[in-house]
Amino acid sequence: MLEQQLINGLTLGMIYALIAVGYTMVYGVIQLINFAHGEIFMLAAFLAVTFITVFGLPLYVVIVLTMACCALIGVLLDIFAYRPLRQSPRLAALITAIGMSIFLQNLAMIIWGSRPRPFVQDALPSFLRTTAFSIGNANVSWMQLSIFVLASTLMLVLFFIINKTRVGTAMRALSQNRTGAALMGINVNRVISFTFALGSSMGAVAGIMVAIYYNTLYPTMGYVAGVKAFAAAVLGGIGSVPGAMIGGIVLGIAEALGAGYISSLYRDGIAYAVMIAVIIFRPSGILGKSTVEKV
């Protein structure tokens, strides 16, 4: 049973991690908790289903197309909701983020209705639900395996972009000192837009995978996923990309073990308890740098 719980938790954790990197990157660059990020995750699931049912596209094309659409939505979100408030107090942007979250949720409800709906089964390869291999008593399905592989690949790509490319260097520079970076000739707004696009496309993949994994999507699905991913980002040290990945996986496994061995009613409680414990004993998170807050 332990092996199975670990696999369950790892699957969940991979998904949290993919959403959490979006939170953490945006925070790293402009110190904003983008609470509408969970809604981008939800929109991705609905867009993917719409692309399949309306245009009949194959799944891999749909994933790429949805990533592109969500990247665009992320950029638009920044341009219209956050950019005008760039010089305002942080609280203003935070409240706007919550407002955008509610707005996008209701927009989805108007467009797609409030009832939960299944993913399009015909678009999926049939082997996804079957067992890929077993470890002891535990079964790993092809679906779970795909989530591991896809999420790990995306995170490696993300790692490469941040550490090895010019725009990644610019992102890191911005997160250290925005004014300094601007003085060095970095186009600040363009880099911020790129950050939103990158985070949103990662969240989009998570949204599609969740919709397929659970075979259900609904307009409020972004809320809980968003809060959990935010917790994962804080757990890993907000602003740190590898921290968000580790935080997501730790949170997923803690939840699965907590629900499996202690009580399923406390699963969310356990997840948050882990987060609170980390914040108390290591305020900057697992991989975060401890800095003195300048208030």
Binding interface with other proteins (CB under 8 A)? 1, 4-5, 8-9, 11-12, 114-118, 121, 129, 131, 139, 141, 143, 210, 214-216, 218, 220-221, 224, 255-261, 263-265, 267-268
Taking the complex as a whole, the smallest distance from the CB of residue 221 to other proteins amounts, in Å, to 7
Rg (CA), the chain: 19
Beta carbons of 17 and 249 less than 8 angstroms apart = yes
Nearer to other proteins, 133 or 214 (CB): 214
Taking the complex as a whole, the smallest distance from the CB of residue 47 to other proteins amounts, in Å, to 19
Residue that is written with structure tokens 């696009």 in the block: 197
Taking the complex as a whole, the smallest distance from the CB of residue 84 to other proteins amounts, in Å, to 33
Nearer to other proteins, 32 or 249 (CB): 249
Beta carbons of 271 and 256 less than 8 angstroms apart = no
Beta carbons of 254 and 240 less than 8 angstroms apart = no
Residues present in the chain in total: 295
Q: Which of 233, 238, 226 shows the shortest CA–CA distance to 98?
A: 226
Nearer to other proteins, 14 or 32 (CB): 14
Nearer to other proteins, 35 or 213 (CB): 213
Which one-letter amino acid corresponds to residue 60? Y
Taking the complex as a whole, the smallest distance from the CB of residue 63 to other proteins amounts, in Å, to 20
Nearer to other proteins, 4 or 146 (CB): 4
Nearer to other proteins, 33 or 212 (CB): 212
Distance, CA of 201 to CA of 182 (rounded, Å): 26
Beta carbons of 23 and 199 less than 8 angstroms apart = yes
Taking the complex as a whole, the smallest distance from the CB of residue 202 to other proteins amounts, in Å, to 20
Taking the complex as a whole, the smallest distance from the CB of residue 69 to other proteins amounts, in Å, to 23
Taking the complex as a whole, the smallest distance from the CB of residue 131 to other proteins amounts, in Å, to 7
Nearer to other proteins, 79 or 227 (CB): 227
